[in-house]
Amino acid sequence: MSDHAYQQCINPDCAATYDVGEVLVSCPACDSLLDIRYRWSRLPRPTWTRFEQRWMTKGEHGAGALDFSGVWRFRELMPFYRDPSDIVTIGEGRTNLQDARRLAGRIGLKSGGLQLQYEGLNPTGSFKDNGMTAAFTHARMVGADKVACASTGNTSASLAMFADVSGMKGVVFIGSGKIAYGKLSQALDYGAMTLQIQGDFDDCLRRVRQIATQVPQLGIYLMNSVNPFRLEGQKAIMYRVLEARDWNVPDWIVVPGGNLGNCSAFAKAFGELHDLGLVERIPRLAVIQAAGANPLHVLVNEQGVKWNEGRWDQSARDELYAQDIKARTIASAIEIGHPVNLPKALRALEMMNGVVRQVDDADILEHKALVGRFGFGCEPASAASVAGAHMLVREGVIGPDEEVVCILTGHQLKDPDATVKYHTGIDMKAAQESAPQQPPTGRYANPPIQVEDDLAAIVEVLGGDPALVSTAQI
């Protein structure tokens, strides 16, 4: 389909390659994750000046729509598409790097030493739009018309909007009671079929992966970040950070970690920029997990697991995941116990000389309040990055004179309940649950559908024939 881009298994002992026209969420040969790779020597050489020039054309029709996008403005750095007409864009990625002077002092950094990348300013209010535009572009390239994801809320909101705009059918799987209302309201309003599975994110992801890979009768294209095209789009967050800093690399990138797609994408971005000679050095990475959802912290800091050039200790992960510890945190976006991108995150830590930390819920909420007081605000998971940066400054790992960029992944209005509860003590969620329930009467009402955590039941709700699902799969 394209001779300059291909998919490749990240396991160095396999390294099998596949065409970009194939729809894969793991390597068919060894089941490892996949990367998108480019033969850069066959491609026009990207330059920063070229990207900057696009600010002048962004309002025009045609290529102007791509130049308007904060993702596709950098399209030479993610050239997996066949033709620009494949690209599905909703004007994503027009986000903002703010100099957080007042907050910097509060967390022990010099004035000018802390910048906040407000990804909540995306069309659906989270960084997910960066990846979704790329994955929908691939979905369109391969002729998909039905897309699905499991989500803690933001991925589902983003998928729902992109599906609506691109005329595809969107299906989202969310854990029962596991999603902030702002996010649920988005998926419903954009008309996605919303399945509330009795379980959590990990259960939902397992089910939607089964549906996409083992139930071909449904023809569903998977939009979670095991889809390597998602991560191609998320690289753009780093390009915008650099652009806002006049292409000067900061000392640290600090990001919350859930399913560990974002941190993986950031390392890929910097690795490629370095190989292309567009940056001279690579910043350090800090991945911050919630203490109640901390598998990367446990494996890296307590068990010493390292990427080790791809020969990492998979049995340590398998043993941890087999314990089936349920993730629990106020930061529902990152309430994930079995992150699928763990190997890529280990690789990212190696590439970016990274560290991992865990922060507890109280710390997350205090730092969320500080971000709100001194800036545009963010949702709880996003504030984990600032809490983590603060912790690393206190430990002396981040020096007081270093330049730190924290990624604020989601908008403050995504989870107003957490904010109201913090400031007033009133638990809006509990209050809503005890209120009398009335069936919706609106003409366009799109209520969520409750389903058991059972493959045949899910297939039936999706309009498939449950009899065709083998009992082995259930």
Q: Which residues bind ligand F0G (CB under 6 A)?
A: 126, 128, 151-155, 225, 256-262, 333-334, 379, 381-382, 409-410
Least gap, CB of 420 to ligand F0G (angstroms): 18
Distance of closest approach, residue 430 Cβ to ligand F0G, in angstroms: 23
Q: Which is nearer to ligand F0G, 342 or 392 (CB)?
A: 342
- Judged by beta carbon, residue 250 or residue 257, the one nearer ligand F0G is 257
Instruction: For ligand F0G, give the closer residue by CB, 250 or 256.
Output: 256
Q: Which residues are paired to 193 by β-bridges?
A: 171
Q: Cα dist. 222→78, 148, 202, 254, 380 in Å?
A: 20, 5, 15, 28, 27
Provide the minimum distance between the beta carbon of 105 and ligand F0G in the complex, in angstroms, as a whole number. 25
The CB-of-335 to ligand F0G minimum distance in angstroms stands at 9
CB of 14 to ligand F0G, least distance (A): 24
C-beta contacts of 368-375 below 8 A and 24+ residues apart: 368/418, 368/419, 368/422, 369/422, 369/423, 370/103, 370/106, 371/100, 371/103, 371/116, 371/408, 372/412, 372/419, 374/100, 374/102, 374/103, 374/106, 375/98, 375/100, 375/103, 375/116, 375/118
The residue among 363, 420, 462 whose CA lies nearest residue 107 is: 363
Closer residue to ligand F0G (CB): 93 or 257: 257
Tell me the closest approach of the beta carbon of residue 327 to ligand F0G, in angstroms: 11
Nearer to ligand F0G, 11 or 289 (CB): 289
Which is nearer to ligand F0G, 54 or 207 (by Cβ)? 207
- Least distance to ligand F0G from the beta carbon of 51, Å? 24
Measure Cα distances from 65 to 95, 121, 163, 191, 454 in Å: 16, 18, 18, 25, 42
Q: CB nearer to ligand F0G: give 260 or 393.
A: 260
Contact indicator for 97, 245 with CB cutoff of 8 Å: yes
Beta carbon nearer to ligand F0G, 11 or 382: 382
- Nearer CB in complex with ligand F0G: 68/186: 186
| Cβ closest to ligand F0G, residue 18 vs residue 422 | 422
- 348 vs 370, which CB is nearer to ligand F0G? 348
* Cβ nearer to ligand F0G, comparing 133 with 155: 155
Which residues fall within 8 angstroms of residue 108, CB to CB, at 6 or more apart?
390, 393, 394, 400
Query: Phi first, then psi: what are they for 110, rounded to 5°?
Result: -70, 160
Residue 93 CA to residue 71 CA, distance in Å, equals: 6
To ligand F0G, the closest distance from the beta carbon of 469 in angstroms equals 25
CB of 334 to ligand F0G, least distance (A): 5
Q: How far is the CB of 258 from ligand F0G (least distance, A)?
A: 3
386 and 117 Cβ atoms separated by less than 8 Å = no
What radius of gyration, in Å, describes the C-alpha atoms of the chain?
21
CB of 147 to ligand F0G, least distance (A): 14
Cα end-to-end distance, the chain, whole Å: 35
Cα(62)–Cα(82) distance, rounded to whole angstroms?
A: 16
Smallest gap from residue 131 Cβ to ligand F0G (A) = 8
